[in-house]
Amino acid sequence: QQQVKQSPQSLIVQKGGISIINCAYENTAFDYFPWYQQFPGKGPALLIAIRPDVSEKKEGRFTISFNKSAKQFSLHIMDSQPGDSATYFCAASRGTSGSRLTFGEGTQLTVNP
């Protein structure tokens, strides 16, 4: 049962462009929504995270937009750089189950120079 659906599966963006990755969830009990970045040969690393009490969180060029009523959240990468080329995973968890994360399927981002 897929509780977090992520799209697109792959994304190609030109340097300087905006990369947008979307996720939708089903479980309204989820209360923590992180995004992980994974480079080839490495494990996933936390990029940015949000809780449902805010609609947007920005850290540098990375922004999470959160729509609680639609049960959707998205990652925006502004001024995308070739070094941003990686696989991005959205995830969700709920307090009562602790740190148990449910992941999306991942988006392979390629930023062309």
Partner 1 sequence: ETGVTQTPRHLVMGMTNKKSLKCEQHLGHNAMYWYKQSAKKPLELMFVYNFKEQTENNSVPSRFSPECPNSSHLFLHLHTLQPEDSALYLCASSQDMFSGNTIYFGEGSWLTVV
d(CA 33, CA 101): 9
CA–CA separation, 26 and 76 (whole Å): 21
Question: Shortest distance, CB of residue 49 to partner 1, whole angstroms?
Answer: 8
Nearer to partner 1, 33 or 80 (CB): 33
Please report, as ranges, the residues that interact with partner 1 according to CB under 8 A.
2, 4, 9, 31-32, 34, 36, 41-46, 49, 51, 89, 93-106
Q: Closest approach of Cβ 74 to partner 1, in Å? A: 17
User: Whose Cβ is closer to partner 1: residue 73's or residue 106's?
Assistant: 106
Least distance CB 37 / partner 1 (angstroms): 11
Phi, psi for residue 63 in degrees, rounded to 5: -135, 135
Distances (CA, A) of 33 to 13, 18, 49, 73, 92: 24, 21, 6, 8, 5
* Beta carbon of residue 48, minimum distance to partner 1 (angstroms, whole number): 11
DSSP 8-state code for residue 81: -
Judged by CB, which is closer to partner 1: 32, or 71? 32
